[in-house]
Structure 1
């Protein structure tokens, strides 16, 4: 059903996806290795790197950060409206980065762990298409061609490492999955799934690309990442992603 559906899509739509079971077996894929601007989906690997720092004792989630006016950026999030000096824990920064894709929270966390250190972590762990080259809402960097990237295959690889507790210990894994389950943007992967089915995921949106990456917790976990580029409108992109998730659930949730 999945391949039949994708064959009906407009030829101008650039689709990239991969669907795997918990053991990493590829159930279906299309252009999975294609490097794509990551949008806010880059916040998933950043979250894992942050939690690795917590496990190593370099950071405590209960520690507080004093917000500065220079931290605040537009786009998604509520921290941009908080006053200078507002205190917030790193736990809440991480939560807000995923729950409502808060860009200010994300930039604070990038500075805390180090942009270059995060890049080196990605490289050391064999991620080639996934790159963090700029802060959120850094329009000067964008104008210079600096973009953040990933691919469906590498995002799935990262989610599989999380699901199988290969990247973090059990407690940290459960915390990250809980944050991802609290993502409030349910207009893509979760939209057509049964309400009783839990999904841990994170969306990302740019003018020219829409994506969602997550773990569907049905009878058996399904890991999938879908990107739609050159879509006619956001509603159409969401519909494509939601339909792929629905068909994946029907086809592979045994």
Structure 2
């Protein structure tokens, strides 16, 4: 991995803004780290541990993933996703809500799931996933007067979480496979996968990823599958223009893909 470390270090040295990056070869146990413990506002990357917390609650028998929940008027919040444009009373399965939360980054679906499982379950799940330097504080697009804190993450924590999900070591192999399958359906693909090669028919790679963004921040995190290889990539940024950050994210994904191919 030494050549990859050198190339990633050079890329980040000239990148605009502040970055926290971890790349881990999950099959060989080698990794690259750049400010892995630096804290960033989580944006929508926090939706991955929320998904894991939903699966943990289902594993405990609190509900089934095929149970349906009705949208309430007070659930509807704007930002990412489409549920806010639909009518209250619409019933969706918990699995459908999780899927929309991940692949469209739907904020309404996210808040419905947060209400379903509660902060304590999310906190416990993050602890079980090894996310000891990260914190969940509040729902999405809602700013309570008594909660000033933002949801926060570190690249190191997100990498630990992805490692557990990709290797089937959280809850059960089946639950982890289910979660990674949802992440592979990601529709927001302008970051890490944006420069990966396309081909007629089936490409030789897959990525299970989740991005997050707001003014001055652009994150992406996922697991890249190239043949039998599995590599996690976490890239968090702040004080950066979106076009600049997306360019760096695309180059990161490309460098890791080329490393896996070698």
Q: Report the TM-score, using the length of structure 2 for normalisation.
A: 0.90
How many Å separate the matches in 2 of 1:185 and 1:168?
A: 27
How many Å separate the matches in 2 of 1:112 and 1:78?
A: 20
Deviation at 1:124, TM superposition (A): 5.4
Say whether the 8 Å CA contact 1:227–1:241 is kept in structure 2.
no
Structure-2 residue corresponding to 1:241: 249
Deviation at 1:117, TM superposition (A): 2.6
Structure-2 residue corresponding to 1:98: 102
Q: Number of aligned pairs?
A: 250
1:170 and 2:170 matched? no
Structure-1 residue corresponding to 2:14: 8
How many Å separate the matches in 1 of 2:225 and 2:253?
A: 12
Deviation at 1:252, TM superposition (A): 4.2
1:222 and 2:231 matched? yes
Structure-2 residue corresponding to 1:209: 217
**Cα distance change of structure 1 residues 227 and 200 upon mapping to structure 2, 3 Å threshold:** same
Which digits, 9 at most, give the CA deviation of each residue in 1:80-101, with x for residues without a partner? Answer: 1111211111111000001100
Deviation at 1:253, TM superposition (A): 4.2
Q: Which has the larger displacement, 118-127 or 41-50?
A: 118-127
Counterparts of 1:63-212 in structure 2, within 5 Å, are: 63-123=67-127, 126-140=130-144, 145-195=148-198, 196=203, 197-212=205-220
Q: Report the TM-score, using the length of structure 1 for normalisation.
A: 0.92
How many Å separate the matches in 1 of 2:239 and 2:250?
A: 17
Say whether the 8 Å CA contact 1:67–1:84 is kept in structure 2.
yes
Q: Which has the larger displacement, 162-171 or 35-44?
A: 162-171
How many Å separate the matches in 1 of 2:259 and 2:37?
A: 22
How many Å separate the matches in 2 of 1:66 and 1:85?
A: 5
| Root mean square deviation, CA, Å | 1.7
Gaps of 5+ in 2: 1-6
Say whether the 8 Å CA contact 1:16–1:226 is kept in structure 2.
yes
Deviation at 1:75, TM superposition (A): 0.2
Gaps of 5+ in 1: none
